[in-house]
Amino acid sequence: MCGAQAGGPDASTIKPGETTIQGQVTKDGEPITGYVRLLDSTGEFTAEVPTSATGQFRFYAAEGTWTVRALVPGGTAERKVVAQTGGLTEVAIAV
Pick from 1-15, 53-67, 72-86: least confident: 1-15
pLDDT at 2 exceeding the cut of 80: no
**What proportion of the chain, given as a percentage, has pLDDT over 90?**
80
Q: What is the CATH number of the domain that holds 56?
A: 2.60.40.10
Structural domain for 76, as ranges: 2-94
Long-range contacts of 7-16 (CB under 8 A, 24+ apart): 7/49, 7/50, 7/52, 8/50, 8/51, 8/52, 8/53, 8/54, 8/56, 8/57, 8/58, 9/52, 9/56, 9/57, 9/58, 14/58, 14/88, 15/60
Residues 42-51, mean pLDDT to the nearest whole number: 97
Domains of the chain: total: 1
